[in-house]
Amino acid sequence: MNLALAELSRLLARRFVQLMAVLLIAAFGVTVATTVASTHKPTAAELQRAEQEVRVAEIQLEPLRQNCEQRSPNLSFCDAYAQQKPRIEDYLYGVFIFSDEILDLVYFMIAFLALFAFLIAASFVGAELTSGGMTNLLLWRPQRITVLGTKLATVLAAVLALSIVASVLYIGAFYALAEIGGLPGDLDGEFWSDLVLTVLRGLGLVLFAAAIGFGAATLGRHTAAALGLIATYAIVWEIGARIVFQVTEASRPERYMLSSYIGAWMAGRASFYDQFACTNGFGSLCSREYELTWIHAAAVFAITLAAIVGGAFATFRHRDLA
Amino acid sequence: MTSTVWFWHMTAVIHIEGLRKTFRTMRGGARVALNGFDMTVEAGQIHGFLGPNGSGKTTTLRTLLGLVRADDGRMSILGHPAPDALPAVAPRLGAIVESPQFFGNFTGRRTLRLLARAGGVPAERVEAVLTQVGLRDRGNERVKAYSLGMKQRLAVASALLKQPELLILDEPANGLDPAGIREMRDLMRELSTAGITVLVSSHILAEIELICDHVTIISRGQRVATGPVAAVLSGFDKGEYRVRVADLDRAAGVLTTAGLPVTRKEDHLVVADVGDAAWIAEQLGQRGMWVSELTPLTPDLESVFLQLTNSAPEPVPTRQVDEAIQPGTIDLGVQP
Ligand SMILES: Nc1ncnc2c1ncn2[C@@H]1O[C@H](COP(=O)(O)OP(=O)(O)OP(=O)(O)O)[C@@H](O)[C@H]1O
Ligand SMILES: [Mg+2]
């Protein structure tokens, strides 16, 4: 515990961490500011006009729905008609509607937090390995796994705490903005549970990024090793291998890409279209679509973590330290 | 490494036997740093650890402290096998290894507080050690802004924090000013009087000679001498005397006839195998030569060190700078 507290003060005192935190706040600030600049409280006239348009839309929908019910109730577009409920929010322009836009904004926030977590965690261990700070600590506490484990746990806990605070503030800011200068929209139970679930998944992703950054920097003994790993992965695999898969007409290339799993993890599921499937003539029985779910994603994340973080701990145990 | 095997080393605070370490580089290169090195440090000693640059001192200490894995050999520290039992003995051990790095953004005081906290040491110790190393009034400055010597003092302070029984200091005088070196000397003496065993590596041989009671000399990864300082020195005492008289040639003749090895120097003679100095004075006096100086040439640690490390198993390729520059061989292209 004492070791963890000591690590925490080292983490918070790092210039790089402070700089990254400022950048993070700045990025969020810019997002909020641009939203502020592009929204306004709808005027009475605008609301009236929107209500009018909703009524018009309802009137237009009605015969279509009836037509469906009478003739072909199980067609998919009929379902869509049945579910479609024109809302006032759909006919207001330049108005920030919390319920419609917050999910995309949360994705953006998670992306930023994940990047932040990755860099912080990588530099936290990388800088100490290069500067000899780790050596010092090990002279003091000659238990390598404990020391490295405490470091990882500290950075994960710090990143998690910061992400929770950031999420609450971020979502809170947009909610307040909607109340003051926009519209909250339909905030039913389903909406909130969806939002909370998305944020929780996002936090998972942020922790994953931190652990990978930490592990890669430990394996490579340098912060730059983590950056190199990501850059290499992105260029060689996500871009290079994708092209190769395209050329060789490999089936379902997306399932080899970490990015697909990140998407599946965040959205719960992700569908992909396999352009090389169903080329053998049994068209109607064959589905070109396939799906990756968050469970697949969790498995892939677990394997990646085991390889990189597990590998980092295994090698750190016996390595010569300068 | 069972405890029975180690039983006879229980009195030794540090015992190292047949330590080997070869560093391998990524490109497949290999550098032998330790080649069967042995060392024993007994309780209560101030033990000097000497050797030329790259001879393996730091590697030995790193290996002992578990930072580097040995290829072969056995080590014990405070009666426990190292590095396996290091976690158990760590609270009794203070160490600095080659200019330690501290986190620059913290003040000296905070650095020590954090270490104290991480190691379960009472916070009062921080003030005590800061005073002990002379940093009390600069403790609130960032380590980044410390001078080399101040960083070194901070390192020593961190090693003292636990009130260790054994102190391992790798070049503690590195970067210290003359006053600092003297303070370090007094500090080590003080600690030794308090019963602490000190192992100290240094290149300042006069310093080692002043404070250490025992030395181990390493060269090219092997021990070339060990024992009490006096014993190591006396092994090199050839009973030489410096003799100064007016007529050097005649005196040399007399002493050579008497069977003593004599070396003629510029303005004096060096006579070896002298049993009784009075005998020389008498012999020369009887022939009307009056001795103006008759001084025993006792070897100092420096001369012994230089001799020993040049007579190492595989001679160190040293002095390249001097070898390269022969007087008269450099053509500077200047026309007279
Ligand atoms: N991490 C390393 N990788 C490769 N070689 C190393 C490493 N550390 C030390 N060596 C080599 O091992 C040998 C012993 O080095 P060591 O640092 O132990 O010497 P030293 O006696 O402490 O020298 P100095 O008096 O200069 O501090 C040297 O030849 C050095 O180049
Ligand atoms: Mg050294």
Listed range (A15-24, A131-140, A277-286, B102-111) with the worst mean pLDDT: A277-286
- Cβ atoms within 10 A of the Cβ of A316, count? 21
Interchain proximity B117–A2, CB inside 8 Å:
yes
Query: Would B316 be classed as within a structural domain?
Result: no
Retrieve residue A307's tokens.
């390889």
> How remote is the C-alpha of A75 from its chain's centroid?
35
Given B233, B249, B270, the domain boundary residue is: B233
Domain match, B199 and B272 both: no
Domain match, B163 and B201 both: yes
Nearest CA residue ID for atom 25, ligand 1:
B53
Partners of residue B295 on adjacent β-strands: B242
Q: What are the pLDDT digits (tens) for A114-138?
A: 999 999 999 999 998 888 888 888 8
Retrieve residue A247's tokens.
């050329």
Q: What are the pLDDT digits (tens) for B8-48?
A: 445 789 999 999 999 988 788 889 999 999 999 999 999 99
Query: Would B126 be classed as within a structural domain?
Result: yes
Q: What are the pLDDT digits (tens) for A141-170?
A: 889 999 999 999 999 999 999 999 999 999
Task: Tell me the chain A residues in contact with residue B97 when contact means C-beta distances shorter than 8 Å.
Answer: 135, 139
Domain match, B41 and B175 both: yes
Calpha distance A167→A203 (Å, rounded): 9
Question: Is the distance from CB of A42 to CB of A95 less than 8 angstroms?
Answer: yes
What CATH number does residue B93 fall under?
A: 3.40.50.300
Rg of chain A over all Cα atoms, to the nearest angstrom: 25
Give the pLDDT of residue A181.
Answer: 87
What CATH number does residue B251 fall under?
A: 3.30.70
Domain match, B207 and B247 both: no
Interchain proximity A2–B96, CB inside 8 Å:
no
Nearest by Cα to A158 from A207, A222, A111, A92:
A207
Selecting from A6, A135, A320 the residue whose C-beta is nearest the C-beta of B69 gives A320
The Å distance, Cα B96 to ligand 1 centre, comes to: 16
Closest chain B residue to A135, measured at CA: B67
Selecting from B90, B114, B158 the residue whose C-beta is nearest the C-beta of A9 gives B114
Domain match, B227 and B250 both: no
Checking if the pLDDT of B100 tops 80, the result is no
Query: Which residue stretches of chain B are H helix?
Result: 57-64, 86-89, 108-118, 124-132, 148-160, 178-193, 205-211, 229-234, 248-257, 277-286, 301-310, 320-324
Question: Is the distance from CB of A224 to CB of A118 less than 8 angstroms?
Answer: no
Instruction: Indicate the DSSP class of residue A236.
Output: I
- Cβ atoms within 10 A of the Cβ of A102, count? 24
Q: What are the pLDDT digits (tens) for A231-241?
A: 999 999 999 99
Checking if the pLDDT of B162 tops 80, the result is yes
The Å distance, Cα A189 to ligand 2 centre, comes to: 67
Domain match, B95 and B122 both: yes
Q: Which residue has the higher pLDDT, A261 or A87?
A: A261
Give the pLDDT of residue A76.
Answer: 66
Atom of ligand 1 nearest to the CA of B62: 18
Closest chain B residue to A13, measured at CA: B105
Question: Is the distance from CB of A288 to CB of A274 less than 8 angstroms?
Answer: yes
Give the pLDDT of residue A168.
Answer: 96
Cα-Cα end-to-end distance for chain B: 73
Ligand 1 pocket check for B51: Cβ under 6 Å: yes
Give the pLDDT of residue A82.
Answer: 67
Closest Cα of chain A to B189: distance in Å? 24
Closest chain B residue to A320, measured at CA: B68
Task: Tell me the chain B residues in contact with residue A133 when contact means C-beta distances shorter than 8 Å.
Answer: 101-103
What is the pairing mode between strands B93-96 and B166-170? parallel
Atom of ligand 1 nearest to the CA of B203: 25
Query: Would B317 be classed as within a structural domain?
Result: no
Calpha distance B249→B273 (Å, rounded): 19
Q: Where in the sequence is the domain holding B162, given as residue range(s)?
A: 3-233
Checking if the pLDDT of B64 tops 90, the result is yes
Ligand 1 pocket check for B238: Cβ under 6 Å: no
Q: What are the pLDDT digits (tens) for B190-223?
A: 889 989 999 999 888 888 888 999 999 998 899 9
Domain match, B153 and B7 both: yes
Closest Cα of chain A to B113: distance in Å? 9
Highest mean pLDDT among B162-166, B297-301, B316-320 belongs to: B162-166
Query: Would B125 be classed as within a structural domain?
Result: yes
Listed range (B85-99, B280-294, B295-309) with the worst mean pLDDT: B295-309
Domain spans, chain A: 3-42+95-318, 44-91
Checking if the pLDDT of A268 tops 50, the result is yes
Interface residues on B facing A, Cβ-Cβ cutoff 8 A: 23, 62, 65-69, 83, 86-87, 90, 95-97, 100-103, 105-106, 110, 114-115, 117-120, 158
Distances (CA, A) of B152 to A10, A173, B134, B184, B316: 21, 50, 11, 11, 29
Question: Is the distance from CB of A9 to CB of B117 less than 8 angstroms?
Answer: no
DSSP SS3 for A111? helix
- Cβ atoms within 10 A of the Cβ of B7, count? 9
Task: Tell me the chain B residues in contact with residue A12 when contact means C-beta distances shorter than 8 Å.
Answer: none
Checking if the pLDDT of A77 tops 80, the result is no
Retrieve residue B154's tokens.
């901070």
Count of the separate structural domains present in chain B? 2
Optimal mutation site among A136, A144, A222, A317, interface B, most CBs of chain B within 10 A: A136
Give the pLDDT of residue A235.
Answer: 93
ipTM: 0.77
Give the pLDDT of residue B120.
Answer: 81
Domain match, B246 and B161 both: no
Domain match, B192 and B260 both: no
Query: Which residue stretches of A132-222 are H helix?
Result: 133-140, 144-181, 189-220
Calpha distance A54→A67 (Å, rounded): 20
Interchain proximity A135–B158, CB inside 8 Å:
no
Question: Is the distance from CB of B8 to CB of B15 less than 8 angstroms?
Answer: no
Closest chain A residue to B162, measured at CA: A140
Atom of ligand 1 nearest to the CA of A322: 1
Task: Tell me the chain B residues in contact with residue A131 when contact means C-beta distances shorter than 8 Å.
Answer: 101, 103
Indicate the top mutation candidate among B57, B71, B219 to test ligand 1's pocket, ranked by most ligand atoms within 8 A of CB. Answer: B57
Distances (CA, A) of A4 to A144, A309, B67, B132, B306: 14, 19, 21, 28, 48
> How remote is the C-alpha of B200 from its chain's centroid?
6
Question: Is the distance from CB of B118 to CB of A6 less than 8 angstroms?
Answer: yes
Ligand 1 pocket check for B99: Cβ under 6 Å: no
Domain match, B209 and B249 both: no
Closest chain B residue to A316, measured at CA: B67
Task: Tell me the chain B residues in contact with residue A140 when contact means C-beta distances shorter than 8 Å.
Answer: 90, 115, 118-119, 158
Mean pLDDT of A182-207: 93
Ligand 1 pocket check for B279: Cβ under 6 Å: no
Query: Would B331 be classed as within a structural domain?
Result: no
pLDDT bin (cut points 50, 70, 90) of residue A66 is: confident
Domain match, B261 and B292 both: yes
Atom of ligand 1 nearest to the CA of B221: 14
Task: Tell me the chain A residues in contact with residue B112 when contact means C-beta distances shorter than 8 Å.
Answer: none
Domain match, B200 and B292 both: no
Partners of residue A153 on adjacent β-strands: none
Angle between helix A15-37 and helix A2-13 axes, rounded to 10 deg: 60
